[in-house]
Amino acid sequence: MRESFPDWEWPRADRTTGLGVLVALVGTSAVSALAGVTKLEGKPGPAGLYLAVVIGASALGGLWAGLFGSIVALFGYRYFYIVPTHSVEVTASNAAALGAFLATALLASYLLFRARRSLAKLRAYRETLELAMESSAMGTMEWRSGMSQVALSAGAERLFGLAPGAFSGSTDQLLGLVHPDDRSRAAAALGVAAEADGRLAVELRFVRADGVDVWLELRARAIRSLTPDLARVVAVVLDVTETREAALADRQELAELTEHHSLLSAVVDQLPTGVIIAEAPSGRILLSNAQFDQLWGEPLRRAGDFSEYRVFRGYHPDGTPYRPEDWPLARAILAGETTVARLIEIDPPTGVKKTIESSAAPVRDASGRITAGISVIVDVTDRTRRQREQQFLGEASAILSSSLGFDETLTRVAQLAVPSLADWCAVDLLSDDGAITNVAVAHADQGKVDLAHRLQVEYPPDPASANGVPAVIRTGRSELHTEITDEMLVAAAVDGVQLQIVRDLGLRSAITAPLTTHGRTLGAITFVTAESDRRYTEVDLLLLEEIARRAATAVDNARLYSEQGAARAQAEEAWAQVSRLQAVTAALSEAVTSTEVAEAIVREGLVAFRAHAAAVVRLTSSGTQFEVLASTGFSDALSARWSTYSADLAGPSAEAIRTGRVVATGSAEQLGQRWPNSVESQALTGLEANIAAPLLVEGEAIGVLHMSFRGTREFDEPTQEFLVTLARQCAQALERARLYEAEAAARGDAERLTNRMRRLQLIVDATLAGGSFDDLLLGLLKHLRDAVGSDTATILILDEAGGVLRECASIGFDGPLNTRVPLGQGFAGRIAASQLPAVVPDISQIEVVSPYLRASGIVSLAGVPLLVDGRTVGVLHVGTKEPHGFEREDLLLLRLAASRVAAALERAQAHEQEHRIAETLQRSLLPGALPAASGIEAAARYVPATVGVTVGGDWYDAFELEDGSVGIAVGDVVGHGVAAAASMGRLRDVLRAYATDGAGPADTLARLNKMSCREGEDMFATVVYGVVNPARSSLRLASAGHPPPLLRRPDGEVIQLEEGRSLPIGAAADAEYNEVDIALEAGSLLVLYTDGLVERRDESIDAGIERLAALIAEDPAPVAEVADRIIDALAYAHHPDDVVLVAIAIERVKSPRLTLSLPAEPQSLALMRAELRAWLESVRAEEDEIFDILVAVNEACSNSIEHPSGSESGELVVNLEADLVGEDITIVVRDSGRWKPQGPKEDRGRGLEFMEALMEGVEVVRLPDGTTVRMHRRLRGEART
């Protein structure tokens, strides 16, 4: 309202204008007067007139009018006063006076104009003001000449409720209108207003003349004047009643607000959460409730601004403190952020840390301006602890289920518990010997952990203690000590020192829970509080028990796992060794020369032992020096020195050779200590660990297998044994190579010889060529004949009896000679007797025994004895049909040929004998017939080696066990010949003995192995032994390094039974053998074999096994057929090794057996046929099959009935058993008498003929006490499913 008034003041310019007019008038008058005096004396009239004209014109018409008037007046002056009356000389002073006059007139005119315009403006103002005042509740007042009188404008009169004209103008009257309460104030105000330059603004209550109470505001101002009379005080009066009342209303509202605030406080106080409201933007806290105060422990001083938020001590999750402007409330006010449920750790003055959840939001007014912030706070200390506990449980479970060792696992769990759940956490385990071992202690302070460990050592827990960990472990019940009292510490302490230490720890509360799983207590876990001053409750114990339960399971699992892990590692190691051994064997099988053997051993041994250097060193033939056959990883210097140094020097290798044992030094120190000056210890730089095994051939060391390792190494027993095995293989292979080399050397000699006498080469080659002995001799004779140029060539062999020479081989004659020449007689006989070569240029000159010589037209003869070790074994001679002078060279040739023949003869004889013995032995050792157990059908095949001269050590065995199971063993003794066959026999007998004694497969093999190792014989064999239990349809299988048996499932799938495989028999004394249980479904076929069946020189054994598997996978057939098929396909003509094959079929469908027992009389036959027909129909035989079988069986029965014999006593009975296995029908007819085909000749055997024609297999066994006919026929089975 105040602002709505225009500035109420006289314009300053107009005031000066007024002043200027005055000055102009005065000046003009003065100039006029002066002019009149000086020049226009006597004529004042016109001057006055002139002045009047100018002023009037100016006043009336403004400036331009004034100017015009002046000009008119000037001309008028001249015309009327100067020109018509007298001429006035215009002088300088005259002109100046005129100019001054004109200027003055002009100035006056201008000033008048200004004054007139200001007055007009003023008038307009006044009018406007009056209008404004009238239209509004406003008036003006003016005191003049002192304060007693006051002039009121119309508006003012209205305001005061005075009727126009009713006001006397007295100040007192006006004061009388003032509300009595305000009168003194009003008087004082007037006094102030009257002061010099006083300004006043006062609101006063008036009681208007019409009785209405109004609030009027008076704004007064004293206006100065030069004269006190002119001084006045002007005032504006306006009605402020409404404003005033509005303010009053505002005040009431405020009061109400205050009341609301209290109400709000009261409501907010009732909320379960802490609430705090702060003003924006200062942050001054307007309100906080009781819960908020309680949260902080005590009512906090209300903060006046953000800086005072420092009293709230809060921490971020990472521990950094909250700055005042970080708090959600501050963020809400300052940035308008809304925060929802932020977790804050607070540290109230009470010292009990809490976790709160703070939410905050800004409060905005209608314009969106932030006016306040509100924050809600919840105490979530318990909840977060529970969450932490749950989280702990989760994390602990994760740790516990990890595959760590349980010591580390438990330690980590204990560390997890500290410090959130406990200040101390300890885990104790009960060991097998009953001792309690602390496996984990955790505390935030590592120093305290160390202290705990020391305490544990110095004061071990008393297992008999009435409480604490021992008691918990003993009883399996948890313990809760909410408060650990000093008495308890005193009671538990062993001595003062311990008591003091424990007291210093400041233990407060403790809980202990047992680690129990499967009803067994494994240990205990303990939580203790100290620094945190926390007290445990039942709830905490529940948590601990849960942890304990999980930890116990983990410990249990970990123990199981580590046991299994150890077992598995052992098994894997064993298997790895077998694999390595096989790799070595494979490598050796390809090595021919000693160097190749040694290189193979070095190469494979390096891999097998993960060694860094290896060497095969052989003793020279003198036995005094080493010869490095192959080495790798050693420095050249060492190899060089080794190759020359004497074998009697000290060192592991020499020691191994001398003692025949493995010599191992695990570190360089050991080596140096034992052989301080040995070449090896000096030369083996960088190779710390060494192991040497002697290469033994028949107990004699022929060299050393040496392995070296960087860094130290422990050589445990299995490693040493494995090395021995490797060394044994190496030695055998070296020996074999030596023989080969000897022969190769002989061949080399021969070849050198033939360089001189080329023709001999053919002879020598002939003797060395492979093939049969006869072929060899014939080839040799042929070459000899060609070489000598004879017509015939003959070898005679001295009979074993020593008396007669028999022709063994000859060429050039028409047929076999069948000659026998007594020793000492005739040409050959004399040579044999004298052991001297003989040449007969003309046989007519001498006595000849054999007519064939002359008969065939022989003229000249030359012969040499066949000598072995100085003993005559035969005679070689050549003959010509033309006279021939045999030269020295021919004789030499003959002699050389004779030596080859003699050697070959000797070898052949020895081999033949051994082969015969071995094969006989072996065959005699193989079981005659496989056991006929019900539910299985078995077939076995043995094929001795056809190439080479000796039999191997392959064998098989099958026998019935007590529970109806059948034990089946297949083995392969390393080596050939009689020794291998004998070993095989022993192994077979012992295995059968153990097996029938009730030992399972693994046990049997383990015992077999022990026996083999114990006896110290160089017996090395692979064996697979399985027990087939037809009743349980199961196979238990164990293998000692044998190729995997194959199993064809009923669905045709063939699998290799790789499991249950361990080291070969004789490989390591403490080798462990495992067995596997394999389900044998009906219709399965199990095939066991020896490697001869699947090994080819030019391919891997796997390929052979695959081929065998493919054969087995073919259409099912009776096992005998399967066995034949396999042998035909795989054991081809020139197999160098024995082959054993055992096939066992598990009966597919077991139909009810038909058993009939009939009186031995013809009338029984029809009944028998009826029964058998019904049975055959039940197994869905077809009509023609039924007829055939009926006839065949009827014949068998008829024979029994028709021709009874034997016992006369008792009733004669014919028994019939019919079985169906798969598609195979087997019928057995037994009688109690002898079956003697009688009757007419043409009739005789017709029954048998019929049986054989109608059935596929008929077996008649006649024994004194009865005859058994076993018949077999395979049903076609198309109609069957």
Interface contacts to another protein, rule CB under 8 A: 1161-1163, 1165-1166, 1169, 1184, 1187, 1190-1191, 1194-1195, 1198, 1201-1202, 1239, 1242-1243, 1246-1247, 1249-1250, 1253-1254
Contact residues for 1094 (Cβ-Cβ < 8 A; gap 6+): 1043, 1101, 1104, 1105, 1107, 1108, 1130
Radius of gyration of the chain (CA): 69
Which lies closer to another protein via its Cβ, residue 161 or residue 1237? Answer: 1237
DSSP 1008-1044: HHHHHHHTT----EEEEEEEEETTTTEEEEEEESPPP
Tell me the C-alpha distance between 402 and 554, whole Å.
9
> In angstroms, what is the minimal distance from the CB of 1255 to another protein?
12
Tell me the C-alpha distance between 1220 and 1228, whole Å.
12
> In angstroms, what is the minimal distance from the CB of 795 to another protein?
55
DSSP 388-409: HHHHHHHHHHHHHTSSS-HHHH
DSSP 1043-1106: PPPEEE-TTS-EEE--TTEEPPBTT-TT-----EEEE--TT-EEEEE-GGGT-BTTB-HHHHHH
Both tokens of 4, joined, read: 């709505």
Which lies closer to another protein via its Cβ, residue 115 or residue 1254? Answer: 1254
Which lies closer to another protein via its Cβ, residue 1091 or residue 1195? Answer: 1195
Which lies closer to another protein via its Cβ, residue 758 or residue 1246? Answer: 1246
In what order do the strands lie in the sheet containing 1054-1056? 936-943, 1139-1146, 1085-1089, 1046-1048, 1054-1056
> In angstroms, what is the minimal distance from the CB of 1207 to another protein?
21
> In angstroms, what is the minimal distance from the CB of 1204 to another protein?
13
SS3 at position 1274: strand
Which lies closer to another protein via its Cβ, residue 836 or residue 1253? Answer: 1253
- On whether the CB atoms of residues 597 and 737 are closer than 8 A, the answer is yes
Tell me the C-alpha distance between 972 and 1092, whole Å.
9
Tell me the C-alpha distance between 452 and 297, whole Å.
37
Residue ranges of alpha helices (H) inside 871-976 are 888-925
- On whether the CB atoms of residues 565 and 456 are closer than 8 A, the answer is no
In what order do the strands lie in the sheet containing 314-315? 285-288, 274-279, 370-379, 354-364, 339-346, 314-315
> In angstroms, what is the minimal distance from the CB of 1213 to another protein?
16
> In angstroms, what is the minimal distance from the CB of 1208 to another protein?
21
DSSP letter assigned to residue 374: E
> In angstroms, what is the minimal distance from the CB of 1193 to another protein?
10
Contact residues for 123 (Cβ-Cβ < 8 A; gap 6+): none
Which lies closer to another protein via its Cβ, residue 229 or residue 1161? Answer: 1161
What pairs with residue 315 in β-bridges?
321, 345
> In angstroms, what is the minimal distance from the CB of 1192 to another protein?
9
What pairs with residue 314 in β-bridges?
346
DSSP letter assigned to residue 625: B
CA distance to 9, 225, 229, 926, 977, per residue, from 190 (Å): 22, 18, 18, 152, 154
Which lies closer to another protein via its Cβ, residue 880 or residue 1194? Answer: 1194
Which lies closer to another protein via its Cβ, residue 705 or residue 1254? Answer: 1254
CA atoms within 13 A on the CB side of 421: 29
> In angstroms, what is the minimal distance from the CB of 1246 to another protein?
5
> In angstroms, what is the minimal distance from the CB of 1233 to another protein?
16
Which lies closer to another protein via its Cβ, residue 869 or residue 1242? Answer: 1242
> In angstroms, what is the minimal distance from the CB of 1269 to another protein?
14
- On whether the CB atoms of residues 153 and 132 are closer than 8 A, the answer is no
Question: For residues 17, 20, 22 and 24, what is the CA-based torsion angle, rounded to 10 degrees?
Answer: -130
Both tokens of 372, joined, read: 């306040």
Which lies closer to another protein via its Cβ, residue 126 or residue 1246? Answer: 1246
Q: At what angle do helices 1119-1130 and 1101-1113 cross, to 10 degrees?
A: 140
> In angstroms, what is the minimal distance from the CB of 1194 to another protein?
5
Which lies closer to another protein via its Cβ, residue 690 or residue 1198? Answer: 1198
> In angstroms, what is the minimal distance from the CB of 1102 to another protein?
51
Which lies closer to another protein via its Cβ, residue 577 or residue 1198? Answer: 1198
Q: Taken in order 49, 55, 60, 64, is the CA torsion positive or negative? A: positive
Q: Which of 20, 30, 79, 37 is nearest to 51 (CA)?
A: 30
Could you tell me where the beta strands, DSSP code E, fall in 577-697? 613-619, 626-632, 663-665, 689-697
Which lies closer to another protein via its Cβ, residue 111 or residue 1254? Answer: 1254
Which lies closer to another protein via its Cβ, residue 292 or residue 1250? Answer: 1250
Residue ranges of alpha helices (H) inside 757-861 are 758-768, 773-788, 826-834, 851-855
Tell me the C-alpha distance between 1235 and 436, whole Å.
83
> In angstroms, what is the minimal distance from the CB of 1249 to another protein?
7
Which lies closer to another protein via its Cβ, residue 277 or residue 1248? Answer: 1248
DSSP 452-521: HHHHHHHS---TT-SSSHHHHHHH---EEESS--HHHHHHH-SSHHHHHHHHHHT--EEEEEEEEETTEE
> In angstroms, what is the minimal distance from the CB of 901 to another protein?
59
> In angstroms, what is the minimal distance from the CB of 1184 to another protein?
7
Which lies closer to another protein via its Cβ, residue 1072 or residue 1252? Answer: 1252
Between the two ends of the chain, the Cα-to-Cα distance in Å is 118
> In angstroms, what is the minimal distance from the CB of 1243 to another protein?
6
> In angstroms, what is the minimal distance from the CB of 1223 to another protein?
21
Which lies closer to another protein via its Cβ, residue 1163 or residue 1209? Answer: 1163
Both tokens of 354, joined, read: 């809490």
DSSP letter assigned to residue 228: G
Which lies closer to another protein via its Cβ, residue 560 or residue 1166? Answer: 1166
